[in-house]
A and B are shown apart, each in its own frame.
Chain A
């Protein structure tokens, strides 16, 4: 059966497809073809290029180089070729009903009776994938639970919609489904593939990948590093293929001693004085939220204390870091204004003295700190944000993936600075999507599904351990 399927024309064929965003090679020459009857498991670490690959296949992005073709149908577009995507983030219209949402992606529903047809089609699709689902076709989507919304989205992906679904891309479809419902989905995928459909299945639950995939592709740094029938992989082999083999192990320092515990959160996150605590795991598993809750809880009250207990270094500079219309000087000193103010007025001389001091200490590359902040490169803007945080007296520094888009040289400068400040007794909470950075930490909490799945410290902090804690390995 497998050989017969392989002989048929592939549904989608990529040849040397590449996608660059500026200097970033999100997809670096991938050749891939998916035939009817195949269920392709796609795994890889954050930023490995999975989403970019999916978006190139479904027509959301056009490749910078290489081609995407749909030989089986001969259609020119992914939509015409019957390629459907179910995205990780919910992409239904919450103000419409379940049946109306089907209408959005089913332009062929016409005439006065379209509502009846839509209701029937979505009810059928739901019954097929999730028997006993209990979702009414007329229910507004915003009245459904997250799991129910995900079920509707999946059902719309598999629904015929006037043509026929040939390739359904499921990006983390089970992240909000419970085990029983997820099982229903997996068995539907098997039926769908047996009937000649194809599926690309992305999941961090390796158990599910093994349960359903006929072929597994491992991506790393925008390339396909392994492409084998599922039977040739073992769990451990898969994890090994995803990670880099740890580079020259980050200089292991002598175990330092830390002060008393200064931070505890309901999730179980703790940090002691002088400690660098890392938050790791796959992106979007609750790390940034945990930090935001902690930070806002400690600093956002009417009766703000004169000296802030915590400062925040933003990773998303544009959204919650840089004040774009202000100068470098003002961006750096905004955190310390209350301290250096005299009778409510800013002490200009003191302000520029501090800014000049930090410019020298952190190495901001500019002739004049009164230049606008946007005249700096991204890495240097980030340095200003570090200066802003470190210039304050706050004993705890919260960092939300602060090295995004920062070049290697700057990173090394900042690592050194963080270690120096920690030695002076400051506590750092550091969320990072890059394992290399997490390995700089004294202790690491790995997050999965909004909860801490592992706490690693000292020599235990290795890429391997973090990866295996990030992925579901429970039912081995």
Chain B
């Protein structure tokens, strides 16, 4: 049987379902409009950051500066965008363009993305400290309203996740340009031979990453109402884990936006689940890692067995 090899999305969905069932079993009160919103609230910025990371992994690179970048965006949103919206918007746009330029430079000079983005993480982190030396700022009202909106029947976090998954699926899987972008990850040489300017495609992929990074920062400030220069440092590793949990691969342009969102939800849920288990916070990070290893092991076992079948 080749079920898991053919439908790669199945395993992420199953992991989330099992974890969700376990959480509801431990804490039946979470099974409510309010409970679900609380569980998945913070998943929205993580999902957006995971999509950003996915854009980079899609073209065979990896981004170690994403957490610092999202933190910087959060600082800009909580200060400039709140006080002088126009200037704030210009800064955010410049940040997206900077990301696109980064992609072009990495491709043109054939630099290792891992080193360049690691270096950039200190640049973003420094800028964030420069803007907001101590925690503070406040969220623009419209953003606050948007992130706390209460749609009927289904909580905001779920609606937002579905929307993000749907839109990015259209962008990266269904659209022609998205297909070519994934082609860059699969076989850049054949894309270049077909007459595509690979440098522009790479810049586009990085630009998309920048855009979703900005959205992640905005969503985060909308939820927390203030910012801090280190607010999202965890996002770098969370986003990478989310992409991989969602069925993506580090190389070869094999990514799934829907899977990435599911991966982000799973990671967020894992943290809550461990709290419900009354596990001491000292152990939580380690336990989260254990869950990650468990899911990845399952995937490896399934795909390997299917490959033999």
Contacts and interface: CB of A to CB of B under 8 A. Distances in A.
A105 B187 contact: no
Contacts, number: 58
Interface residues on B, range: 20 to 34
A107 B195 contact: yes
A93 B176 contact: no
Contacts of A103: 176, 179-180
B169 interface: no
B174 A104 contact: no
Q: Among B6, B180, B194, B252, which residue has the most Cβ atoms of chain A within 10 A? A: B194
A91 B176 contact: no
B187 A109 contact: no
A94 B183 CA distance: 8
Interface in B36-78: none
Contacts of A104: 179-180, 183, 190-191, 194, 196
B29 interface: no
Contacts of B144: none
B278 interface: no
A85 interface: yes
A interface: dominant SS: loop
Given A104-B179, A109-B176, A114-B176, A91 B193 contact: yes
Interface residues on A, range: 20 to 34
Contacts of B179: 96, 100, 103-104
B180 A92 contact: no
B176 A79 contact: no
B189 interface: yes
Interface in B135-193: 174, 176, 179-180, 182-183, 185-187, 189-191, 193
A91 B195 contact: no
B193 A96 contact: no
A96 B181 CA distance: 11
A95 interface: yes
A162 to B, nearest CB: 12
B299 interface: no
B254 interface: yes
Contact of B186 (A94, A105, A109): A94
A94 B191 CA distance: 12
Contacts of A109: 176
B253 interface: yes
A244 interface: no
Nearest to B5: A143
Contact of B254 (A79, A95, A114): A95
A221 to B, nearest CB: 27
Given A85-B193, A100-B183, A104-B190, A95 B252 contact: yes
A377 B195 CA distance: 37
A230 B195 CA distance: 34
Contacts of B191: 93, 104
Contacts of B254: 95
B202 to A, nearest CB: 15
Contacts of A101: 183
Interface in B215-261: 252-254
A79 B192 CA distance: 12
Contact of A79 (B6, B174, B190, B195): B195
A99 to B, nearest CB: 9
Q: Among B174, B195, B252, which residue has the most Cβ atoms of chain A within 10 A? A: B195
A93 B187 contact: yes
Nearest to A58: B193
Q: Among B179, B185, B195, which residue has the most Cβ atoms of chain A within 10 A? A: B179
A198 B253 CA distance: 35
A101 B186 CA distance: 10
B182 A105 contact: no
A14 B194 CA distance: 22
Interface string A319-339: 000000000000000000000
Contact of A91 (B5, B187, B196): B187
Contacts of B253: 93, 95-96
A113 to B, nearest CB: 11
A184 to B, nearest CB: 24
A95 B185 contact: yes
Contacts of B176: 103, 109-110, 114
Contact of A105 (B6, B185, B194, B252): B194
A93 B193 contact: no
Contacts of A105: 194-195
Contacts of B252: 94-95
A60 B180 CA distance: 20
Q: Among A79, A105, A114, which residue has the most Cβ atoms of chain B within 10 A? A: A105
A115 interface: yes
A103 B194 CA distance: 10
A245 B235 CA distance: 68
Interface in A34-79: 60, 79
Given A109-B176, A115-B174, A96 B182 contact: yes
Q: Among A91, A96, A107, which residue has the most Cβ atoms of chain B within 10 A? A: A96
A86 to B, nearest CB: 11
A22 B182 CA distance: 36
Contacts of A93: 182-183, 185-187, 190-191, 253
A53 B194 CA distance: 18
Contacts of A79: 195
Contacts of A143: 5-6
B265 to A, nearest CB: 24
B176 to A, nearest CB: 5
A60 B194 CA distance: 10
Given A93-B253, A100-B179, A115-B174, A60 B186 contact: no
A125 B290 CA distance: 49
Q: Among B174, B180, B187, which residue has the most Cβ atoms of chain A within 10 A? A: B187
A122 to B, nearest CB: 13
9 contacts: A79-B195, A93-B185, A93-B186, A94-B186, A95-B182, A95-B253, A100-B183, A105-B194, A143-B5
Given A104-B194, A105-B195, 12 more contacts: A85-B193, A91-B190, A92-B187, A92-B190, A93-B186, A94-B187, A95-B182, A100-B179, A101-B183, A104-B183, A107-B195, A143-B6
Interface of B: 5-6, 174, 176, 179-180, 182-183, 185-187, 189-191, 193-196, 252-254
List 6 A-B pairs, minimum CB-CB distance, nearest first: A93-B186, A105-B194, A95-B186, A91-B190, A93-B183, A95-B253
